Structure 1
Amino acid sequence: METARRTIVATLLVALAIVAFAAAVTITNITEWTVKAQGAPVVKVAGSDADGTYVAVGTYTGTDGTNRTTITVVGFKGDITRYTSVLKICNKNYSKPVSVSLVYKTLLSGNWNYVKYIKILYPGSSPPSTLTIDSTTSPGTSITLGTVDPGSCTSDIGVEVLVTPDAPTNTNLITIEVDVESTG
């Protein structure tokens, strides 16, 4: 009986040691990741209204290393101001069609004191799409522009703004971030 009890205890200790060893096993399977650079498959191209007078489109590299496109539009105080050809989104280096959306992200600077709204207009979708951004718009609000085939661009993207009559002139009133998101 004593021998049987010792055998059971020894068996349990061996089983416990096996379980503890099995739980502590680490297997390393090595992978290598290589990064190559290539031109962006989806690019933003200035529209015909972007002559630098009332609409300007430019680019710069953000502090985080991302490419940023800047769009500056002049709004005339107290008047609804609309530009019909500010930007196009083009599928340049991609072998497949991409679905493109515009997504309001955040207010970057300024405030809504002098700008009643900014409407991003896309008449190229059916029905035409408008992304209205004002002081009540939640981040993540978006519109889908549709599918862009390889080597093609969207129709013109326009903008409409309403600046209050009492706004200061020759001053940047507001800057917002609207991202172009593409999947494909």
Structure 2
Amino acid sequence: MQLEAKNIGFRFDNGPWLFKGINLTLEPGEIIGLTGPSGSGKTTFCRILAGLEKPIEGRITVNGTLLPKKGYLPVQLVFQHPEKAVNPRWKMEKVLNEGWKPDKDLLALLGIEQEWLTRWPNELSGGELQRICVARALGPKTRFLIADEMTTMLDANTQAQIWHAVLEVAQERGMGIVVVSHETRLIQRLCHRVIELNNINA
């Protein structure tokens, strides 16, 4: 299974192109680092890869097929700010059940305690809430994970535990990952190759 972005271009309204002519191919089990200066459109490109934003030009396909418009998508995105990615009126159990029934082994791997599932988003710390968001993204149908500054706002121990869990799941499933981060060490340690958004043709 292959994730492909072909000739992707995007701009807001009739403004200048944020990026144009982007080509990217992600293979199963591959980890790609995505870098670029602030304002280069990294988050927008991640949203396009995950099917949350429609490109002005080009298309995103998985195994040559366009992403479905409804249902659980094979490409999942984890945002930098988890509080913006969950419904504040839902308790954590409902957040997890939005896409799939949570696997207890995965919850344990991510350090998620069962009592958290009865809480509201504002009753969890940022690290606890991000673990929930990561668990939600790692459903059984997920084939590609887009991690947009996924652990940037977290302490070192939480970062390490989350990435350990994600990489273990990715290795078991042959899941491809796109990592967006300003942390050079993280990119160098995790990624098989690194791509600059300003010069993507991979």
Which has more helix, going by share of residues? 2
Greater Rg over alpha carbons, structure: 1
TM-score normalised by L of structure 2: 0.23
TM-score normalised by L of structure 1: 0.25
* Higher RCO (CA 8 Å, separation ≥ 6 residues): 2
Which has more strand, going by share of residues? 1
